Amino acid sequence: MIVGMSQLARVEPGEAGFDPDRLSRVTRFVEDEIAAGRLPGAVLGIVRGGRIAHFEALGHRDPQRGVPMTADTLFWIASMTKPITTVGALLLHEQGRLVLDIPIGDHLPQFADRRVADLAAWPGEGAPIPTRAAARQPTILDLLRHTAGIPEGMLGDSPVHALYTDAVGDGMTTLTGPEYLDRLSGLPLLHDPGTTWHYGFGLDLLGLIIESIAGESLGAYLRSRVFEPLGMHDTTFGVPEDRRDRYAAAFPADPETGAPQELPDLSVAAFDSGGAGLVSTAADYLRFVQLLLAGGDADTGRLLGRKTVDYMLADQLDQDTDVRRLARPGWNPGHGFGLGLAVRRRQGGASTPGSVGEVTWPGAAGTNWWADPAEDLGVVFMAHTPSRIQSHYQQQIKALVLQALV
């Protein structure tokens, strides 16, 4: 039995529309990468038509100690947290408790009357950044779409980005929720809300808004409303003490450059980061992906309305706005953005095959997933590769899975 997947039937690849011989190329590729010392280990899961077509753990959970990878290995999923937080917010929206187009200041008074940095009038380094009135205030939708003007500091080199980096740094492990809000609330917006896409801290703020509405921590809220109904029993904020031996290790050095690399210490997370704080397993996240493919329907009943899921997976951006603006090497062009995830706009123009309407959003430590509603296909690839090599695996795993479809 695959841990955490007992409610989804396991079938042979051929029954799910895969050529078994061609699908085995994925396994050979991963094994070759492990043998070459480029990948410590990985867990790969594929669901199609609501059934598991492939699931395997390869390599090592801890390469330094020789501990083998297992199906229940825990990974820091980083920004793969964002789609889950999005579902948490949409559940409140369906209950009439969260209006999507109202200013975030209605829930977070610290964020009322935000101003925009006027970089055109900035004298230069060492001088304060002048500000101007915003055309409008950022809304809940702006947080979900990354159009609020609240950037992630490390993903840009403007003086505004530097302000955000200096203010919060690795806020997930060093700041409490109130401290995080206080640090961000005094900063100018990078741009007028709704005018452009720029990756940022919006889902962290949304998680804190969820807490203010629900009256409990984000972790407790998601556990009762999302994780328990879906059977995601190994998904938590941070790594619990009794599960630390299941947490995957990364190589101590980048296999390509030799530069030191490490994962954050998630045993000391100061608040439940709705943008990047979750730890999960491949099996758990595959169940979340299946929820999206099923239009919000779960084994325990309907979790989210079908039209709400359609709205979440729809491209929310103007056609001239491409998320390749993301300041991270290797990001795939040809995508717009829905609510908490990227949406593929066309078959051409991207660096891998795929379907119009497929959705994805990877994690910074090397975890990845995508859901293709047109093919009723979901794929989760879990590995701890916190360096540029992760882009290689995002592209290669996808190409190898898709070439096996019949």
Q: What is the pLDDT of residues 189-200, one digit of tens each?
A: 999 999 999 999
The span from the CA of 20 to the CA of 36, in Å, is 25
Together in a domain, 346 and 241? yes
Q: What's the confidence (pLDDT) of residue 3?
A: 47
Together in a domain, 257 and 399? yes
Together in a domain, 68 and 148? no
Together in a domain, 25 and 173? no
Which letter, b or e, does each residue of 131-159 get, where b requires 16 or more Cβ atoms within 10 Å of its Cβ?
beebeebbbbbbbbbbbbbbbbbebbeeb
Tens-digit pLDDT profile for residues 24-53: 999 999 999 999 999 999 999 999 999 999
Tell me the backbone φ, ψ of residue 233, rounded to 5 degrees. Answer: -80, -10
Together in a domain, 113 and 191? yes
Residue 238, SS3?
coil
CB atoms within 10 A of CB 317: 20
Q: Which helix (H) or strand (E) holds 20?
A: helix 20-35
Band the pLDDT of 270: cuts 50, 70, 90: confident
The span from the CA of 56 to the CA of 45, in Å, is 7
Least confident interval from 15-19, 145-149, 154-158, 279-283: 154-158
The span from the CA of 363 to the CA of 367, in Å, is 5
Least confident interval from 84-98, 145-159, 302-316: 145-159
Together in a domain, 278 and 380? yes
94 within a domain of the structure (yes/no): no
pLDDT reading at 158 higher than 80: yes
Put simply, whether the predicted model's pTM sits higher than 0.85 gets the answer yes
Report the mean per-residue pLDDT for the chain: 93
Structure tokens at 135: 């055309």
- Span 261-284, average pLDDT: 92
Band the pLDDT of 331: cuts 50, 70, 90: low
Tell me the backbone φ, ψ of residue 38, rounded to 5 degrees. Answer: -95, -20
Q: What's the confidence (pLDDT) of residue 269?
A: 76
CB 305 within 8 A of CB 296: yes
Q: What's the confidence (pLDDT) of residue 327?
A: 39
Residues above pLDDT 70, as percent of the chain: 95
CB 237 within 8 A of CB 273: yes
Residues above pLDDT 90, as percent of the chain: 84
Half-sphere exposure of 352 (CA within 13 A, CB side): 23
CATH of residue 61: 3.40.710.10
Question: Which of 163, 182, 214 lies at the terminal end of a domain, its last residue?
Answer: 214
Together in a domain, 74 and 129? no
Together in a domain, 208 and 260? no
Tell me the backbone φ, ψ of residue 377, rounded to 5 degrees. Answer: -125, 135
Together in a domain, 140 and 48? no
pLDDT reading at 127 higher than 50: yes
The whole domain housing 177 covers 101-214
pLDDT reading at 330 higher than 90: no
Question: Which of 179, 214, 249 lies at the terminal end of a domain, its last residue?
Answer: 214
Q: Which helix (H) or strand (E) holds 76?
A: strand 75-76
Q: What's the confidence (pLDDT) of residue 318?
A: 85
pLDDT reading at 325 higher than 90: no
Together in a domain, 385 and 271? yes
Handedness of CA 288, 245, 366, 1 (dihedral sign): negative
Q: What's the confidence (pLDDT) of residue 329?
A: 46
CB 101 within 8 A of CB 139: yes
Together in a domain, 304 and 206? no
The span from the CA of 355 to the CA of 343, in Å, is 10
Higher pLDDT, 186 or 374: 374
Residue 226, SS3?
helix
Structure tokens at 45: 């899961």
Together in a domain, 378 and 281? yes
Tens-digit pLDDT profile for residues 355-389: 999 999 999 999 999 999 999 999 999 999 999 99
Question: Which of 165, 183, 214 lies at the terminal end of a domain, its last residue?
Answer: 214
Half-sphere exposure of 198 (CA within 13 A, CB side): 21
48 within a domain of the structure (yes/no): yes
Amino acid symbol at 133: A
Rg (CA), the chain: 21
96 within a domain of the structure (yes/no): no
The span from the CA of 212 to the CA of 218, in Å, is 9
- Span 167-194, average pLDDT: 89
222 within a domain of the structure (yes/no): no
Strands 368-372 and 377-382: antiparallel
In the chain, how many domains are there? 2
pLDDT reading at 1 higher than 70: no
Band the pLDDT of 155: cuts 50, 70, 90: confident
